Structure 1
Amino acid sequence: MAIAIQTLEERYIDSCSRLDVLPNPAILSGLFKADVRKNRRESCTLEILLEYLKDIDFNPLLELCLEIIESEIEAVDIRGGSACVLNGEYALALMRTIGQRLRSVDLQDTSFGKEFLRDLAQRGLTCQILDFRTSHFRKLNMMGEFMRLHTLNLDYSNSLSSFKEDCFTCMPNLRCLSMCETRVSNLWMTVAALSKLPSLVDLRFQNWFCCNDSTHSSGSTDRDDKTDFFHLSCSSSIRAFSNVLINPDSQIVIEDSSDDSEMDFSSQQRLYDYEDLFSNVAPRMDVEIGPWNEVSLETLLNKREEVSAGFLTRHVSGVSLKYKSCNASPICFEKHYRDFMIALLPQLKFLDNLSIRKIDRETASVMFSQNFEYLPFKRKHKESIVSILQRREIKASNSHVRTSKQKPSYTLGTSQCSYTRSLCAAKVGSSAWPFVHTLSISSNDIGDENTFFRPRQFEYHPSIPHLMVFGTLDGEIVVVNHEVEKIISYIPSFGDMNSVLGLCWLKNYPSKLIAGSDNGSLKLYDIKNMPPKVADAHYSAGTVSFDEFDQLTSVHVNSMDELFLASGYSKNIALYDITSGRRLQVFTDMHQEHINVVKFSNHSPSIFATSSFDQDVKLWDLRQKPIQPCYTASSSKGNVMVCFSPDDHYLLVSAVDNEVRQLLAVDGRVHMNFEIASTGSSQNYTRSYYLNGRDYIVSGSCDEHVVRICCAQTGRRLRDISLEGKAPGTSMFVQSLRGDPFRDFNMSILAAYTRPSSKSEIVKVNLLASTDYYSKEESHDRLARPSKRMGG
């Protein structure tokens, strides 16, 4: 045995001599250690330390790797290092030459660059254990062959925030995955990616360490349901994870070893209320999403772990074990994170290095059913779009052969609605990656290629599906066909308007709209008389100017297009007559603080609502001379937004920092509290609107990069849409948003950038389409022309 190893060493020395290269001491040392292990009847493994190699060592080492294939070396482990100077292409060539003998690759402290990692991800490796961190990619896309990989460690990849849809389909045998201290935060996209891993049993986004009696244990032990608890040393932290070996019986053990892009949220550290957040991190879950297990919710909740301020207490065989969370990724702070993961990934045995017990699965099923929608419209199971269409056709065919004695059916409308909802549920459920596309408007359409649009407010047209208007920070009004991304009408500022904050279309006169800016300017425009070209834009036929309303923030027209209201940074609102162009009245001191938004109801021309930072929402009736409100409903924080549901049955109220509630419009009683997690920021201004009529609501906040979609009747979360910046050091946040009034599960979001510039753009989202817009090269090309595109 030793002779074979010595022969390998001799061959390496001969290669060095022939190539006129001095033998590398680190390689000779590795061969000697492999010889010692073989003599001890241990596994004959060779360790290659890349940080001790230079480019000149490549050729003889490559020949050695070819010899390894025919030698008694059973496995090769490759380790990087912070001092590594070896060319990345050489390192990859070595790994791929070793082939099936390659066991472990540790690149945690190696900086080979973006091209090295892209090559590794696209072509794959034959190793069993891969351990690397990267700051180059925000979206993981591992499309090469990783057929033998069972352990993947991505800890501390501090730019990694999401995954490509098929990222993990090339890893059918992956069983352990760790992503501690990454930027991953979207529950739905994460689970959709991880569901492609059929063998995954151990997942972590954080570590729970046992800290009983104020002393840190070297590990934790928890046996339940005959499942071994995963031991993890506190001193070795997550590095030990990359040395995990898994035997065929699914038992997880640790092998002792002495060896050692583009979206950045680090500047936007969230101020979490840990007592609230960690109440959702406790382990508890179920395998099925179907009917609840026959156990009362009260019984399950009484058996849950006790949590407080970042600590977790678990009761095992009458013993209380106390744990502390470390290395947590943002996803861990999502409400009911642990429930969500275990309910939708039933093959997991360990989550965040805590075993998943039977009681955890049972409780998770209940908690998931209470807080999330698996599919839209309460659908419990995914359906094939083809089968839905076939059922609809069969139903239609049968209805034509009804005999004359049969009674006519009056359920056609209901059936059609049911089919439409089934189709929507099937499409939304087909992918967690909705089609996301930046509305790209060329300034060439207006005859001025140097114009740069900075949108500040936008509105869909209420009766023409393809029309949208947006106002800019520079006082421009731009009417666009958002389906083909063409400008229909363009109205420059001419110094009359500053930042456009108020826009409202007239319902009965579809070519007209009201626009108001923060300098108080108020105008009625007729887009039929507004040409798209800058050279012709001085023509102002059909424009009506109204008396100014200082520090304006909001305008809204009533259902008859007779009147409109304006509010601003004051306690007053003004009532205007559209036909005469006169201001009829100013209603004073309607709130204790300034009024953010005023909204007429959709069907009654005299009913309107106001929302204010004084924490009150008030309903008013013009017929009663609004001295006293019809009622007042209070929030616990300042109100940012209020709107009526399309049928005027509800009021949707959004207060600071994700306090979103739905009120009964008739009397102001709370119908639904959506219980979105707060961030602790008093500047996190939240806005919410209806989607699909009054079926769902969409909610976003100016300090967060996520839009949440919730059922308006149950409050359950359906999806989160994460907005991603397109360059390093940039973040996107929700400034405003609207549901498309004509297309189910379509919306647009006004997203603002922070650092290095305050750009903004309108982002269109289609949950019924599964194409990932960011993966298309043509989209990158379209977005790479800041001087000609809206949002830069």
Structure 2
Amino acid sequence: MSIDIPGLRQRYIDSCKRHDVLPSNAILSGLCKAEVKKARHELCSLEIFLHHLKDVDFLPLFDVFTQLDNSEIEAVDLCNGSSCTLKGEYALKLMRAINQKLRVVDLQDFFGKSSLRDLSKKGLPCQMLILMASNFRKLNMSGQFMQIHTLNLDFSSSLTSFQEDCFACMPNLMRLSMCETRISNLWTTTAALSKLPSLVELRFQNWLCCNDSGSCFVSSSVKSNRKTDSGLPKKNPYVGGVSVDLRELLDQNSSTEQVLRNMVSLSELIVNNDVQSMSEDSSDDSETEYLNCQQVYGNMEPSPTAFPGWHGQFDFQNEVSFDTLQYQNEEESTKGAFTQDNADLAMNYISYHPSPVCFEKHYREYMIASLPRLKVLDNLPIRKSDKERASVTYLEHFEHLPYRRKKKECVVSILKKREVKAGRSPGRNSSCLPGISQNFYTKSFCAAKVGSSAWPLLHPISISGTLVGDERRSFRPRQFEYHPTDCSLMVFGTLDGEVVVLNHESETVISYIPSLGAMNSVLGLCWLKRHPSKLIAGSDNGSLKLYDIQHRSQIITGVYNSVGTVTFDEFDQLTSVHVNSTDELFLASGYSRNVALYDISSGRRLQVFTDMHREHINVVKFANHSPSIFATSSFDQDVKMWDLRQKPLRACYTATSNKGNVMVCFSPDDHYLLASAVDNEVRQLLAVDGRLHLNFGIAPTGSTQNYTRSYYMNGRDYIISGSCDEHVVRVCCAQTGRRLRDISLEGKGSGTSMYVQSLRGDPFQEFNMSILAAYTRPSTRTEIVKVNMLASSDYVKEHNHRQSRPSNSMGG
């Protein structure tokens, strides 16, 4: 059937006349190009540049597309330049009018929030979507994207995370690129991507192959004229006697059609059954050269719209199968990037535009092990040997399910097993049923629930505008502690010197103690264990008080009843207080090398131990069961154990870190010490002698101000660790050091970010914790976020909807 392009052009001109609009030269030019392609017996595609259109051009073009016949245009590509005056809603209507003929949609940073939301909810019938958007943080695409096989979100600078089912609407998506986004969480990322049954190629960074001369190898089958462009070699080395300029492939002035054509020819080179033919004249290190050849076009990045680096995706008629990838001497060879250490990899390849997730330790191995269908990651093909190594690395460093469970069990199945075993009476076969404690089933339940979702429930406690007496107050928490016996209570101290006892389940204030001018920021809080209605509070100006919440403030009047309050001698520049196991003594430390010992019953300071460290002491902690044993941590890089019975003139022992120690704490059974030094140096020591038991191997950021704090969770089973320059809490097994999950914090508004100021494991509920999170903007805003790793994602969505919080997610 003939394609009447001139007739289509005339129809467009007639439509312009009806709407009293001058025809667009850009549209007419595109139709002429389509006519030329038809004459050459090429794919008859029409390319439309949205940035060349104005709102007045919409109606005539819309009329043409709504009447487009199957015999006229075979494919339509929509592209957008640096600026566009066409309304986003008009662009969406054009795309949906084109419908099944829509092939490539390149939008760059074109859409506003409302258009993005509309796009995500209703979907598009295109095959390739290139979307650089700076105004959405969470990807939440719920519309129909049934035809899409390639999605590029490179340089979406605000994108940090995914909704759990954001890819459920893309069953045919094969290639996904998210270079230079802010994606950082391995667990939520792989959980979302695992919903993509067709995904074979993934990219969070561009690997550029190089040698000492900065050379890259390409095939003689790709030919172009050389051009000079800053930042790249003027002349590339060659294979087979032909020199190639890679910039030609990605020239910003080239049409989308030309870029597609260039990519097809190069991808045909890469995915080639006869690998030997590509390296006939190369050196003995043929595999390395072949791998280098595979990298060359995926990393020279002059423009995010060029969309380089995909293997064969532009051959719309005949998709290249990744099964045809072959490698020389796969089993025997130990050369090339895929079997080298990271240090060796850096010598041969340069990473361009990495997302933060790429800096996670063992990132590549984790991705390969978690997404077994992947064939290419960051432009590097995945070989059998890579998968084998990834599997070993994953088992060494990561915990798939809590308590080292091999596979996820159904909660109903666990309940059934418990009921059956509990109902059996002892008999001759009872020896076949070894005793299983309730703790075993508790751990099984936890493993099943934690394994059901990588998205835990994060719930900020509502303490803004809390009613206290007759007025509403907003609090700025600075420190907090769970109550030792009442699972519903916690206390927090504020930057304004207030002490607030809160029912964190009902989010109601139980007791409010104003500063009354006596306190500044409350940095030290500790409940008494045998008298749990009492607590010690210390502020940074040295003030130290004991409060009894049974004599709490009259909430009606807001006036505190001072009966039961004890004031102690001040300890200058206080940072930490801790009570011993018998509620007889407490210790205070601060910005000095000294520690003060106080008697609680008499209210007297008994002694000041001087020069216990070479620099100031950040934290002092009593053991949980021995009333005379305590530990100190200091920026002098030492953690020391002391015994009051020895009138601590000399430490029982000293354990030294590589960096300054921020804090230390005992495990609940006093078997271990958990020491946290600057920038994620977290180590577990044997409390008896200070020997190293575990180094958790958390990757540093390189910041000397990244103060790290770590605590135990679920007794001594797990540790949680967070740092003040990062928005993530890491959960690790305290017995093996393996990472179970990372929990990411997200600010509520656009452009906001959060970091971890402090955190505590919930002593009553498994896999629950609370995080004191601070916003970098505004700098004084803090909040306590409760985390429930056992809650389902459905509950998260329901909760967020009920709270009616503003959303910055795409489409939400």
TM superposition score normalised by structure 2: 0.85
The answer (yes or no) to whether the contact 2:170–2:196 under 8 Å persists in 1 is: yes
Deviations, residues 620-662 of structure 1 (Å, cap 9, x unaligned): 1111211111111111111110100000000000111111110
The 3-state SS of whatever aligns with 2:195 is coil
2:67 is matched with which residue? 67
Amino acid of the residue matched to residue 670 of structure 1? L
2:152 is matched with which residue? 153
Q: CA deviation at 1:151?
A: 0.2
The 3-state SS of whatever aligns with 1:68 is coil
The 3-state SS of whatever aligns with 2:403 is helix
The answer (yes or no) to whether the contact 1:225–1:357 under 8 Å persists in 2 is: no
Deviations, residues 297-354 of structure 1 (Å, cap 9, x unaligned): xx99998225439x535xxxxxxxx221111111111100000000000101100001
Q: CA deviation at 1:235?
A: 4.3
Q: CA deviation at 1:169?
A: 0.6
2:18 is matched with which residue? 18
The 3-state SS of whatever aligns with 1:203 is strand
The answer (yes or no) to whether the contact 1:488–1:532 under 8 Å persists in 2 is: no
Q: CA deviation at 1:514?
A: 0.8
Matched, 1:245 2:314: yes
Q: CA deviation at 1:71?
A: 3.1
Matched, 1:312 2:346: yes
1:43 is matched with which residue? 43
CA distance in 1, matches of 2:377, 2:337: 21
The answer (yes or no) to whether the contact 1:69–1:98 under 8 Å persists in 2 is: no
Deviations, residues 64-122 of structure 1 (Å, cap 9, x unaligned): 102224433111111112232111111100100111111110111x4231111111111
CA distance in 2, matches of 1:477, 1:716: 37
Deviations, residues 47-74 of structure 1 (Å, cap 9, x unaligned): 1111111111111111110222443311
1:9 is matched with which residue? 9
Q: How does 1:272-671 map to 2 (within 5 A)?
A: 304-308=339-343, 312=346, 322-397=348-423, 399=424, 401-403=425-427, 412=435, 414-441=436-463, 443-531=465-553, 533=555, 535-671=557-693
The answer (yes or no) to whether the contact 1:487–1:532 under 8 Å persists in 2 is: no
Deviations, residues 408-455 of structure 1 (Å, cap 9, x unaligned): 99965x432121111111111111110001011254431254422010
CA distance in 1, matches of 2:300, 2:677: 44
The 3-state SS of whatever aligns with 1:37 is helix
Q: 1:579 to 1:3 in 2, by over 3 A?
A: closer
Matched, 1:711 2:733: yes
CA distance in 1, matches of 2:342, 2:431: 60
Q: CA deviation at 1:532?
A: 5.6
CA distance in 2, matches of 1:61, 1:302: 50
Deviations, residues 705-738 of structure 1 (Å, cap 9, x unaligned): 1111111011111111111111233221111100
Amino acid of the residue matched to residue 179 of structure 1? M
The answer (yes or no) to whether the contact 1:9–1:31 under 8 Å persists in 2 is: yes
Amino acid of the residue matched to residue 765 of structure 2? R
Question: Kindly, what percent of the aligned residue pairs are identical?
Answer: 65
Q: 1:534 to 1:550 in 2, by over 3 A?
A: farther
Q: How does 1:750-765 map to 2 (within 5 A)?
A: 750-765=772-787
CA distance in 2, matches of 1:8, 1:86: 23
The answer (yes or no) to whether the contact 1:658–1:678 under 8 Å persists in 2 is: yes
**What value does the CA root-mean-square deviation take over the aligned residues?**
2.8
CA distance in 1, matches of 2:118, 2:95: 12
Question: Which 5+ residue runs of structure 1 have no aligned equivalent?
Answer: 254-282, 287-294, 314-321, 785-792
1:134 is matched with which residue? 133
Matched, 1:215 2:227: no
2:754 is matched with which residue? 732
Amino acid of the residue matched to residue 346 of structure 2? L
Q: Which moved more, 1:467-476 or 1:43-52?
A: 43-52
1:86 is matched with which residue? 86
Amino acid of the residue matched to residue 207 of structure 1? N
The 3-state SS of whatever aligns with 2:207 is strand
The answer (yes or no) to whether the contact 1:166–1:193 under 8 Å persists in 2 is: yes
Amino acid of the residue matched to residue 412 of structure 2? V
1:691 is matched with which residue? 713
2:143 is matched with which residue? 144
Q: 1:21 to 1:695 in 2, by over 3 A?
A: same
Q: 1:190 to 1:750 in 2, by over 3 A?
A: same
CA distance in 2, matches of 1:776, 1:31: 52
Q: CA deviation at 1:224?
A: 11
The 3-state SS of whatever aligns with 1:182 is coil
The answer (yes or no) to whether the contact 1:436–1:774 under 8 Å persists in 2 is: no
Q: CA deviation at 1:13?
A: 1.8
CA distance in 2, matches of 1:441, 1:409: 54
Q: 1:720 to 1:216 in 2, by over 3 A?
A: same
Q: 1:459 to 1:224 in 2, by over 3 A?
A: farther
CA distance in 1, matches of 2:27, 2:307: 24
Q: CA deviation at 1:252?
A: 9.5
Number of aligned residue pairs? 730
CA distance in 2, matches of 1:544, 1:77: 76
Q: CA deviation at 1:521?
A: 1.0
1:742 is matched with which residue? 764
CA distance in 2, matches of 1:737, 1:236: 41
Deviations, residues 746-784 of structure 1 (Å, cap 9, x unaligned): 000111111333211111111101337478554654699
The answer (yes or no) to whether the contact 1:21–1:56 under 8 Å persists in 2 is: yes
Deviations, residues 351-385 of structure 1 (Å, cap 9, x unaligned): 00011111111111111111111111111212222
CA distance in 2, matches of 1:223, 1:152: 20
Amino acid of the residue matched to residue 312 of structure 1? A
CA distance in 1, matches of 2:342, 2:191: 28
TM superposition score normalised by structure 1: 0.88
The 3-state SS of whatever aligns with 2:95 is helix
Q: How does 1:171-182 map to 2 (within 5 A)?
A: 171-182=170-181
CA distance in 2, matches of 1:502, 1:376: 32
